[in-house]
Structure 1
């Protein structure tokens, strides 16, 4: 079983980026109306494209867990746990180990904690945001039983 998810920004992020439009109009309209409109469109479009393309990917495939730019062989992982609501808030906050490796996004509430068993790795676990925590846990458990 494989799993793949792009941690795309929420629609609220794009709404916040829309604030670039009046800001750029305020700066460039006194110079030229067409330049102001063009700059507003280019800045907003470029920012939206950057935010969408730079969203990290969480993937379980080919014997590896990938979260963003980090990869770990599944043989060095164990005991995935899913957290939602208050438990997810605690996992990201008061219960967080400062040595943990994080791939968390503010607009995505659920997280999955994956224990790291590699003695050479200083991180005791990975904490990963996901919109589908049960599917990610199932994919990790299935990959362990197959491998």
Structure 2
């Protein structure tokens, strides 16, 4: 008899924070103020609405990416990594994410990061045909994403392990 193991999918939309939406309104208000001084109230109102709609659409599109992790693999936007190619999965806190994006970064890695999300998950790719050694994906809940992918710990010979300073 097969033992059923139910793993929950983890689905998350990387929406922009409230501060970005306040920035949209401030940007639109600044443009409206400029036109109020030069062209009058009607032009200012039209400018405010137009700029708010356009910049709001850009922020909305930027923050509509969905991260969907589950037993079938990892989907980030339109990109998909099948479960058979998911290697070690490492949830990263704020400091580890900053390190993974900076000094320990691999230029071949596939990145989907957002500046307003300060944690991420690293998913090693077990596919010799794929040039990306790993995916680094922003998520507000890296442990939940790792658990949904059936997190396997990274091996001790992983390339991102810190090496002793030769000095």
TM-score bracket, normalised by the shorter chain, equals 0.7 to 0.9
Pick the aligned partner of 2:102 from 75, 93, 98: 93
Are 2:18 and 1:22 equivalent residues in the alignment? no
Other-structure match for 2:51: 43
> Contact 1:111 / 1:130 at 8 angstroms: preserved in 2?
yes
Query: Stretches of 4+ moved more than 3 A in 1?
Result: none
> Contact 2:73 / 2:149 at 8 angstroms: preserved in 1?
no
Are 2:41 and 1:33 equivalent residues in the alignment? yes
Equivalent positions of 1:135-146 (< 5 A) are: 135-141=144-150
Deviation at 1:122, TM superposition (A): 0.2
Deviation at 1:36, TM superposition (A): 1.0
Match of 1:109, SS state, is coil
> Contact 2:71 / 2:83 at 8 angstroms: preserved in 1?
no
> Contact 2:14 / 2:67 at 8 angstroms: preserved in 1?
yes
Deviation at 1:61, TM superposition (A): 4.6
Deviation at 1:121, TM superposition (A): 0.3
Deviation at 1:69, TM superposition (A): 2.5
TM-score, normalisation: structure 1: 0.87
Other-structure match for 2:4: none
Pick the aligned partner of 2:132 from 108, 123, 135: 123
> Contact 1:116 / 1:123 at 8 angstroms: preserved in 2?
yes
Distance of 2:139 and 2:129 partners within structure 1: 26
Other-structure match for 2:155: none
Consecutive unaligned residues in structure 1, runs of 5 or more:
143-147
Which stretch shifts more, 77-86 or 115-124?
A: 77-86
